A = this chain, B = another copy of it.
Amino acid sequence: MNTDHPAERLLMGPGPSPVPQRVLRALAAPTIGHLDPQYIAILDETCELLRQVFRTRNPLTFPVSGTGMAGMECVAVNLIEPGDEVIVCVNGVFGSRMQDLMQRCGATVHTVEAPWGKVIPHERIAAALEEHPAAKLVGIVHAETSTGAHQPLEGLGRLVHEHGALLVVDAVTSLGGHDVRVDDWEIDAIYSGAQKCLSCPPGLAPVSFGPRALERMERRRTKPQSWYLDASMLRKYYTGEGGRLYHHTAPVNMTYALREALKIILEEGLDARIARHAAAHQRLRAGLEELGIRYIPERSLHTLNCVAVPEGVDEAAIRRRLLEEYGIEIGAGLGQMAGKAWRIGLMGHGATTRNVDLLLTALRHCLA
């Protein structure tokens, strides 16, 4: 294997997604200092672009220096104190991870569960809030990458707020590909990943905290259990509030890349981009159904298409052939769907007619 010059791939798995040349070029600009006035200006611009993509005016909006799961952890450690009760919706791997992570923060986690592939009806969340009036937050996955289920969120914020809790949303696989409206939907804390529909290399986790979340953090009696992800300190560096205070060395080149990726998104326009993802999904769906391949979730994401492997097909062999003969990466099933599903990503730069048609052609060939 020539690892000095690896073969290029068409990334149609659950992430990373294809990275535009412009973003790679931005990534490789000369490194400057994380406290250089030039870098601070770039960072401020990046955070402002992030606000536009999140559709929020939250001042505390920034890229966490880690991959998507660091974003989940950043939200959890800052909003939870030991002994808190929380509600987590679990219908796939990422809901389970949120449950595990919040337990590690010392929370008592009440789950609202649904079978994998199903979404969680808001009535069930309302019932959980009635049953657990002390619940401090509700955590939910907007785009469950393990099942491809697209969770409806509109109206949920108001419901959660009526019970005095906060709404925490995992938008790792939706931000930049599906509609995500932080302010309109009254989301209090949200995190995503750079390497999905934003089409930036992996390594950053955009997060945003709203006013209710800030208030919760200010009322903490204990320090967050993480130093690296402590928002009370990160805030001083990322917003410049009270003087720009050094916290950790920000990933300078990754910030260059994220800024460029966000610029590309806003040049295209968020609505146009979301429509492009929808169109690519519909084209893929029609083609797959023609091949007799069935979608698993009841309400599929456009960005991540989780389909059942046809009976009698060796799923790993097909993925290997796609990779070796076509240079196309698609994803295996995760967790309880291992061996039974394929996960096809149409994310960001990769959600195009050309890619959909190539994949369908390649699949038809490999399944023949």
Contact A104 B16 (CB under 8 A): no
A6 partner residues in chain B, CB cutoff 8 A: 29-30, 32, 36, 38-39, 42
Contact flag A70-B34 (CB < 8 Å), given A6-B29, A65-B203, A201-B253: no
Question: Closest chain B residue to A100 by CB distance?
Answer: B227
Q: Could you say which of A7-15, A84-92, A306-314 contacts chain B? A: A7-15
Whole-angstrom distance between the alpha carbons of A253 and B334 in the complex? 24
Contact A30 B38 (CB under 8 A): no
Option from B32, B223, B323 in Cβ contact (under 8 Å) with A11:
B32
Chain B positions within 8 Å of A1 at CB level: 37-38, 41
Give A7 to B36 CA distance when docked, in angstroms. 11
Q: When the two chains form their complex, are residues B28 and A249 in contact, meaning their CB atoms are under 8 A apart?
A: no
Contacts of A38 in B (CB 8 A): 1, 3, 6-7
Q: Is A33 an interface residue (CB 8 A)?
A: yes
* Residues in chain B near residue A31, CB distance under 8 A: 11, 16, 18-19, 24, 195, 201-202
- Assess the A9–B32 pair: CB atoms within 8 A: yes
CB of A248 within 8 Å of the partner chain = yes
A52-88 to B contact mask, C-beta < 8 Å, 1/0: 0000000000000111111011000000000000000
B-chain residues with CB within 8 Å of residue A227 when the two chains form the complex: 69, 72-73, 97, 100-101, 104
- Chain A residues proximal to chain B, CB less than 8 Å: 1, 3, 6-9, 11, 13, 15-16, 18-19, 24-25, 27-39, 41-42, 45, 65-70, 72-73, 97, 100-101, 104-105, 193, 195, 201-203, 223-228, 246-254, 257, 323, 329, 334
